[in-house]
Structure 1
């Protein structure tokens, strides 16, 4: 399948309707994804990126229908991760001497992946390549989200090939942002940012400011995953700037796991206490053993405060709670408050462990937490409601409950 974007650029990627996890099992892709590759036909012919290796043979076969492979003058690798470069091995069997343009880090990573000494051409920010009526300009985008990442700008057509930035894991044959369901689009976009780009937010702000300072006209943003932005394309750039600056909505997220429903009942009572004090605040409750971890992380990203609960087991915490806390810690959220809760039988370490993990993750700990022995009775649930009400008050304060 190919898709003509305009007289110069053709999409030659692959829509992966069946994909359900990405980065191994680390990222859920409920809506599938796409691996976007682009063919530019000017006086010179340029291929930007390839597709994931399971589709390599299909990719090369389809590309042959578009063009004689020997007429491809340059290959641009904006990013070396396998979902972008996976078809290179198959393609380079056909055109082994074609120059591959990428960053210095890109050369190292491609050699590390494929152990081939292809005809690499290192580029840096500001380098350009004249291809006829149009010109390609390269902009390094280090740590968005790998060290080798870069953007490629096509002047004349005014298209920014943005690689992983501004993308989504979202399969759609409609291809463009103005054609797809807007709720689905922006949910997948914020999930993508929250789970992949959050740790690199300071680089996001710096790089966007750098690109905007160039005053380049942008008619379209062609991403490496998901749909392309042609209707008001800078709207997603503005969203990234918003998301990158310690983003918060008027929301509290409660995450828990439970053995015999004691901690679940605590979570629900805490939510009741919050709601009784402020009916307008959004409260979302997730059992971390039953809900998708990336969907939970997206809600953490949106929240002012996160309350985490677990039963105590073997002097520790339940495995799903440990896993979600490890994800939260790795993503480096900023400006969020947190506290712990949990039920226990005889030792009761879970609240202390969760508080320590949240503190290590950079959360402002608003209290020493709350724990209830065995299955909380009505007095215990009342204490949980009070805990929730008090937690709400601390959203704007720095003192302990």
Structure 2
């Protein structure tokens, strides 16, 4: 471990004691090509307090970081903001050393921890259940708890250190990003793009909860000098930037853009996709083309967050859509994008089926199917290509109209 990282003091008496997962490449289906972190924070005061732990395989690393600051057995309080195992599975190892520590969590958090770690000794832990507005004095500092149910689990909460104006935000405002620095302003190019990918693939289904959360923060009159999430780097330079970004994403602010997502067997569907793209370009709107076997689905979802219109293409195989198209639609449906318009296209040989099947899924996901699917038999010829280009022009017009309609007034 790097000496600077071992005892990283992010504010007076407050230390980062987490772990960097340089080799993380997949987070329950979400591609993480830039790695990730599991952040835990140690506060030295009259009552020594640890906020969150790390994934189990990194528990010894976290404990060693703590040990270089204080004997882990002297920890008085452990705050568990979220029971998902990337945050909590290091807790049993920590509690073996901090046997007298009290664990603070929500009602759902206590239930979840007991479910996960029944065999890990949690029956012997001292639990304290908290709710929004409850405070904990640790000496010269006071901590306030904020329940954030379904951001993104029922048990989720955040912890606000009042005197230092630091929000320990758990999964909100994070990024999957491995770096040797701990602060966003020290990352070349910043981390906003990584935060957008993170939001789109984890928090997009909960946009209404994000808006209610922002209202609650305003009601509580909280101010932030620093936002310290459980993944990625810490926001300390104008941390309100990331809150403002979350509100924009939650309010479904979009730009004029059309996504064209497809897979292909013998290039017929790909030819159609590229011709649709040319039509969109001719219509004066940005188009993005994604081959499903050559691009990360999680990056496509981030683009979808900004795009009001999507075209999905597939060849017909065994009377239905190509397997990658089916998989992507399943992944996308789970994230529940809203206010999206769509059109379907594809190619077939002696019998179709892909276009109809995709349309049925999109309708169930509450996409607005703007016109009947476009199909080419065997391969697209001149009339098919003309139809694809004209479709692209219409999609560009729709994207311009929807972005004007959906974008909040400034």
Shorter-chain TM-score bucket reads over 0.9
Deviation of 1:393 (Å): 2.8
* Alpha-carbon contact 1:328-1:361 (below 8 Å) kept: no
Aligned counterpart in structure 1 of residue 259 of structure 2, from 241, 253, 259 = 253
CA distance in 2, matches of 1:18, 1:214: 39
Instruction: State the partner residue of 2:213.
Output: 207
Deviation of 1:177 (Å): 1.6
Q: How does 1:103-122 map to 2 (within 5 A)?
A: 103-115=106-118, 116-117=122-123, 118-122=125-129
Instruction: State the partner residue of 2:181.
Output: 174
Q: How does 1:2-401 map to 2 (within 5 A)?
A: 2-23=7-28, 26-115=29-118, 116-117=122-123, 118-182=125-189, 185-278=191-284, 281-395=285-399, 396=401
Deviation of 1:224 (Å): 0.4
CA distance in 1, matches of 2:223, 2:373: 52
* TM-score normalized with structure 1 length: 0.95
Q: Deviations over 1:220-244 (max 9, x none)?
A: 0011000101000011001000000
Q: Deviations over 1:84-117 (max 9, x none)?
A: 1111111111122311000000011111111121
CA distance in 2, matches of 1:2, 1:360: 51
Deviation of 1:165 (Å): 0.4
Deviation of 1:379 (Å): 2.3
* Alpha-carbon contact 2:252-2:306 (below 8 Å) kept: no
CA distance in 2, matches of 1:176, 1:230: 7
CA distance in 2, matches of 1:62, 1:232: 28
* Alpha-carbon contact 1:205-1:244 (below 8 Å) kept: yes
CA distance in 1, matches of 2:324, 2:188: 32
* Alpha-carbon contact 2:76-2:100 (below 8 Å) kept: no
CA distance in 1, matches of 2:313, 2:381: 17
CA distance in 1, matches of 2:360, 2:255: 25
Deviation of 1:17 (Å): 1.1
CA distance in 2, matches of 1:255, 1:2: 46
CA distance in 1, matches of 2:293, 2:321: 12
Q: Please give the secondary structure, in 2, of the residue aligned with 1:5.
A: strand
60-69 vs 293-302, which moves further: 60-69
CA distance in 2, matches of 1:28, 1:344: 31
CA distance in 2, matches of 1:107, 1:247: 37
Q: Please give the secondary structure, in 1, of the residue aligned with 2:186.
A: coil
Deviation of 1:193 (Å): 0.4
CA distance in 2, matches of 1:107, 1:97: 17
What is the number of equivalent residue pairs in this alignment? Answer: 392
Q: Deviations over 1:5-32 (max 9, x none)?
A: 1222111111111111112xx1111111
CA distance in 2, matches of 1:22, 1:54: 15
The gaps in structure 1 that reach 5 residues or longer are none
Q: Please give the secondary structure, in 1, of the residue aligned with 2:196.
A: helix
Q: Deviations over 1:23-55 (max 9, x none)?
A: 2xx111111111110001112110000111111
Q: Please give the secondary structure, in 1, of the residue aligned with 2:73.
A: helix
Deviation of 1:205 (Å): 0.6
* Alpha-carbon contact 2:308-2:340 (below 8 Å) kept: yes
